[in-house]
Chain A
Amino acid sequence: MNLQPTNTEELQAVILENKSLLLRGGGTKTALSTVANESMILDMGKINGIIEYEPSEYTFTAYAGTPLRTIVAALAEHGQYLPFDPLLVEKGATIGGTVAANTSGSGRWRYGGVRDFILGIRFVDGQGRSVRSGGKVVKNAAGFDLSKFFVGSIGRFGALVEMTFKVFPQPRHYMTLQMTYAILANAMQAIFALTTSPLETDAVDIETYRDEIVVLIRLGGLETALAGRVERLKNFLSQNSPVEAIEIIEDDLQLWQSVNHLEWASDYSSFIKVPIAPRQVEDLEMKLQLIQSKRRYSAAGNIAWLAINDDSQIAALLNDLQLVGLRILGPADSPFIGQLKGRDMLQRMKQVLDPHNIFGDI
């Protein structure tokens, strides 16, 4: 049986009454929200809804259990969006789960990830204390920034109750340029040329699971300028490395929605996120090719997404490269694979916020 508090007081009581809890938002990130031990599920789904949304202010505050779908729809009515492009919107992911798992999508390339848009939070810690950090305005330097701290905390330090975000106006139109390369080195050469140029792009994804290397580059902006910008980008990229084929996708909504739902990874049971430096793409890809899996790299090579069935060899591989991965879908044992940095500092934060280890080990 799951525990389902409906307000802060009930949540505090649940936390004080239980020894071991696993937080769950929408349950879409199975590896993080399924119990592997004797923990009870603390389901945040009933603490939901948008608390405040002031379109002219470009900020909103919502309860943790609010489905992204609800937020995306409310924002869209006013031409606004979540620039960090959270994953699994249509699958039922919540805003709280998105912050906890730090699942920014391909669109994070343009303006930043979850951490760059979160302004304030309220959470209940492992001692039942309701704590606020940050604020509701777009700029605030008072007090420690626990809002950012909670990004990627996978529910180990407390239960997020509400959070405030800034949002941006959504580009009115989009187009995607699909570039095909014979080898990954050519694709990376093009990407490095692009990232040091003043050309502005919304997403840069590399797909290595097709016959050839495919790079998808999304552009957003005002319609009057868009076609010209795409043409310019196309010429720029063609000059910078040998390309096999170029295609302009004018109606690209479905394409990016399917990326958001991880459709490309659906024939595998595990799904792992590995933040990497763009220079590591080729090395990592070479090593991963030897293991039955599918890979996608987003944010111009700053994040590797790995779809795989048996991830037992991955830990050694990531350790070698001094990388850490987060398992998002798949078995619910230890979520971190490889080398987690700053563990000592995380332990100290754990001592403050969850000294009785109700929310699980780091």
Chain B
Amino acid sequence: MTAQQFFSRLKKIFPEKQILTQDVQLLPYESDALTAFKTKPRAVVLPETEQEVIDAVRLCYEMDVPFVARGSGTSLSGGSLPIKDGLVIALNRLNKIVKLDPQQRIAVVQPGVVNLHITHAAQVHGLYYAPDPSSQLICTIGGNIAFNSGGAHCLKYGMTSNHVLGIRAVLADGTVAEFGSESLDGVGVGADLVGLFVGSEGLFGIALEIIVRLLPKPEKYRTVLAAYDNLGKAGDAVGQVVASGLLPSAMEIMDNLAIQAAEASVNAGYPQDAQGLLIVELEGESEQVESEFEHLEQVIRASGAHEIRVAQSDEERTLIWKGRKGAFSAVGRISPDYVVQDGVVPRSYLGEALTEISRLSKAYDLRVANVFHAGDGNLHPLILYDGKQSGALEKAEALAGEILQLCISLGGSITGEHGVGMEKRDYMGAMFSEVDLEVMQEIRRAFDPKEIANRGKMFPSGEAPALKLHGMHPLEKKGVISRE
């Protein structure tokens, strides 16, 4: 097959203006938010109908051209990085909310719908879409499905997978498949194909239409800030809250570096002397939340916090979250470059893991800031370095690797929500056996016999593209998005 043949076929599917081939047009698609990697695709197509997506996939399959589905390109693990000479299928124009049924609490959406737009559409009915990645202003449901994305408020009601009821998808060989339904219990008759598809990192095919479930907006929130004179103590407090039998909707931790950076940029009113700051939020029916709140205060007092603040108004709550959600980007701004990991440890080992990370930080002589989803043990260490110094990137990468090994040795995982993508594929072997990986490969080939969907991602591989500098997502620099 020649490039010419491919293009002439492509033009039969898409009007010319929906095909991008010139260098300047391709530039924005060369990386995702893991800016260390860059690859130029052969072309980018901008489908406006489901049929165009299906036809594009079928063409790729027939002509053996690898493709990458792309939402908003905010993947932090190189998931939406193009494949050399491959096709990028950008789904942002498939952005319709097809149906919203408040009584059944569901929405049917196209893959390019932005996460937060579902909540915007649902809120007139008192409903919302629960998973809230910090990138929710721009990231798409298609991308969320690929990575089973989470957010600060996924502790009580789960991640993306727990909110998807049905999917129609085009598999990598061009077959269109439909599974799940509008029922809350519609998956899991004959096996749960929705559960399998969500988190498959775009390796099986492209989601075309998705049924998500909506939740009623909680009546009441109680948001508590607790300051500790040492980070390990804050980590231990998480275990104590969990063990107390409370079920908060969010539990987040920031360390001193993150607090300072957040204060400088947002002025959230955090206690600046704290070495560890714990944010706990309860939500639900008023009476129940008030009762739980009394209980929570006792647990937090007993955990050795030297200062406790409770949001007294909606404005104060919003400010606390603004500081938290902006902390990541704020830390990014105080360093020329950084790498971020998202390993997971069992919650009762949080104190231990944080102490070890701070020891490693000293040993490597690199600053590490911690801002993370503590309630489910999902660390987000930001390793700060200056890429202009020779060897600094390699040192940061080595430290990041040690943190991932630490997570594995404590019985955790190499990724809680950012996915394996390009970045962590070489750590898969540390978590899974050869047989586990072999079975996963076979499953992948069952849906994608030619390995054309997201080729080179997720599975360990010898050659990796050269690492360049790590830095902020361009939209982050502009302050359009922030991360957790």
Contacts and interface: CB of A to CB of B under 8 A. Distances in A.
B416 A336 contact: no
Contacts of B316: none
Interface string B133-151: 0000000000000011010
Interface string A268-312: 000000011111000000000000000000010011000000000
Interface in B169-217: 171, 175, 177-196, 198-200, 216-217
A198 B183 contact: no
Nearest to A172: B245
Interface stretch (B47-55, B83-91, B437-445, B465-473): B437-445
B436 A277 contact: no
Interface residues of B, number: 96
Interface in A109-157: 111-116, 125, 129-133, 135-154, 156-157
A346 B419 CA distance: 25
Contacts of A349: 191, 196, 443, 446
A62 to B, nearest CB: 16
Contacts of A266: none
A157 B26 CA distance: 43
Given A148-B196, A152-B191, A141 B428 contact: no
Given A139-B150, A139-B416, A345-B447, A196 B190 contact: no
B285 interface: yes
A324 interface: yes
Interface string B436-478: 1011101110110000000000100000000000000000000
B104 interface: yes
Contacts of B101: 279
Nearest to A59: B346
Interface in A310-362: 324, 326, 336, 340-346, 348-349, 351-353, 362
Contacts of B243: 55-56
Contacts of B175: 344
Contact of A229 (B158, B180, B287, B378): B287
B104 A148 contact: no
Contacts of B442: 352
B195 A148 contact: yes
A195 B214 CA distance: 10
B376 interface: yes
B196 A144 contact: yes
Nearest to A104: B185
B377 interface: yes
Contacts of B196: 144-146, 148-149, 349
B412 A116 contact: no
B189 A324 contact: yes
B285 A198 contact: yes
Given A144-B440, A341-B180, A114 B188 contact: yes
Nearest to B103: A192
Contact of B239 (A56, A112, A133, A140): A56
B417 A102 contact: no
B125 interface: yes
A135 B187 CA distance: 21
A302 B436 contact: no
Given A139-B417, A198-B285, A225-B291, A144 B199 contact: yes
B418 interface: yes
Nearest to A351: B446
B419 A144 contact: no
A95 B443 CA distance: 25
B431 A142 contact: yes
B183 A341 contact: no
Given A108-B185, A196-B125, A225-B287, A140 B439 contact: no
A183 interface: no
Instruction: Label chain A's interface by main secondary structure.
Output: mixed
Instruction: Classify chain A: how many residues form its interface, as a range.
Output: 35 or more
Nearest to A198: B219
B216 A137 contact: no
Interface string A77-120: 00100000000000000000000001010001001111110000
Nearest to B410: A137
Nearest to A233: B285
A145 B148 contact: yes
A221 interface: yes
Contact of B127 (A152, A196, A232, A302): A196
Chain B CB count within 10 A is highest, among A55, A79, A140, for A140
A16 to B, nearest CB: 15
Interface in B342-374: 344-348, 373
A228 B183 CA distance: 31
Nearest to A325: B189
Contact of B187 (A115, A125, A138, A336): A115
B411 A196 contact: no
A149 B194 CA distance: 8
B288 A229 contact: yes
A199 B126 CA distance: 12
A149 B435 contact: no
Contacts of B190: 152-154, 156, 324, 336, 340-343, 346, 362
Contacts of A264: none
Nearest to B345: A137
B266 interface: no
Contacts of B458: 143
A168 interface: yes
B291 A221 contact: yes
Given A139-B377, A352-B443, 15 more contacts: A56-B239, A79-B245, A111-B156, A113-B188, A143-B432, A145-B196, A145-B199, A148-B192, A148-B195, A156-B191, A196-B103, A221-B291, A225-B290, A276-B183, A346-B193
Q: Which 6 A-B pairs have the closest CB atoms?
A: A148-B195, A152-B188, A342-B179, A169-B245, A277-B182, A225-B287
10 contacts: A137-B416, A140-B413, A141-B419, A144-B444, A145-B199, A151-B191, A222-B292, A228-B287, A346-B190, A349-B446
